[in-house]
Amino acid sequence: MLFKKKQIQDCVIIGSGPAGYSAAIYAARANMSPILFTGFQPGGQLTTTTDVDNYLGFPEGVNGNDLMNNCRKQAERFNTKIINQSVNRVILSNKKGGIHKIFFENKECIESRGLIIATGSHPKFLGINKEKKFMGLGVSFCATCDGFFHKEKDVAVIGGGDSALEEVNFLAKICRKVYLIVRKNYFKASKILQNRISKKKNINILFYSNVTEIIGNDFLEGIKIFNQKNETNRTILVSGLFIAIGHIPNTDIFKNELDLNEKGYIIVQKGKTITSKPGVFAAGDVQDPDYQQAITSAGTGCMAALDLEKYYLSI
C-alpha cells in the first residue's frame, strides 16, 4: 500500500480528470502530500476523445489520452501518490478540522482532514447500437470540443433543452447544415435560445423524432430517424452526431453526505469550491452543470487545492 493506514492524511483527491490532477499538482506543491484515487475511468472523459483542439498550450491539438497521461506524469513528478482504485463510500465529518473517512475497494479505509472531490459526470446515452463505438469517430457530446472537425459539413444534434440549442447555435456558425432532432413537439429550452436559432437559415428542426440507428462501418456516416407523428423513417447523411440530452454527475456516494442540487451536482459556495462539509471541496464537472470543459475543470482543481490550503490556515 502507498500509505500508512493509521496515518491521517492532509489531502485525498477522488477523480483523475483535469480537475483531479490539477488539484494534485497544487496540493503537492503546497506540501499536502496528496493521495489520488483514479476511479473507474482513469483520466476521465477526455480519454474517450481522440483529438483535443481547444486546450491551451497545444497549437496543433493533442490526443485526449496523451493529454491525461501527461497530467498524470506531472502529478507524479510532484510525488502525488496515485491509487488505481475506485472510492465506493465516504463518511464526512461535520466538524471543522474533523476527520473524513474514505472507503475504497476491498473495504479498506483511509482517513484525511482534507478531501477534494473531482469525480466528474457522464453523458446520458441514447442506448442504441454503435453509439459508444463511434465516440470520437463522429459521435460526440460536446460541440465546443469537436465541432471544428465538421466545418462546412452536415451534422445533427439530439435534444430539446438549453444544452442542445446551445450546441446547435455553435454548430450553425461553422457547419453547412444542422439537423436538430427533438423527441417531443416543443422545446424545453429558454425562449431566448429558441429565438436565436429561429433566425438561422441552416438549421432544420425535426420534431416528434428519434434516432433509431447509427450508420457506418468504421466511423459515423449517417443516421436513421423515426417520426412518431407520421410513423415514417428517413435516413440523413451526417459527419457528426452531437448528443445533448444531459449529463449525470457522479455523486451517488455523496447523496447522504453533501448538499446536492436538484440535478445531483455538488453545491459549492459562489466563486469557491467549498462544499457543505468543512474540509471538503469539489472541482470540475461534478459541481459544474454549465461549462463542463477541460480547461474550466483544471481551473477549479487549482482553486480546490488553494481553498484547502486556506482551510488549514483557519483551523
Give the active site residues. 142, 145-146
CB-based contacts of 280, cutoff 8 Å, min separation 6 = 92, 100, 114, 115, 116, 117, 258
| Bridge partners for 205 per DSSP | 180
Q: Determine the longest span between alpha carbons in the chain, in angstroms.
A: 66
Q: Backbone phi, then psi, for 112, in 5-degree steps?
A: -155, 145
- Cα–Cα distance list, 278 to 141, 192, 247, 251 (Å): 34, 39, 27, 18
Q: Backbone phi, then psi, for 154, in 5-degree steps?
A: -95, 135
Dig out the grid coordinates for 203 from the structure: 438549421
Q: Are 45 and 140 in contact (CB under 8 A)?
A: no
Q: Are 1 and 110 in contact (CB under 8 A)?
A: no
Would you say how long the chain is, in residues? 315
Q: Are 21 and 11 in contact (CB under 8 A)?
A: no
The residue to which cell 436538430 is assigned? 180
Alpha helices in 99-254 (DSSP H): 143-146, 162-172, 191-198
CB atoms within 10 A of CB 271: 7
Q: Are 105 and 124 in contact (CB under 8 A)?
A: no
How far separated are the first and last CA of the chain, in Å rounded? 29
Secondary element (H or E) of residue 206: strand 203-206
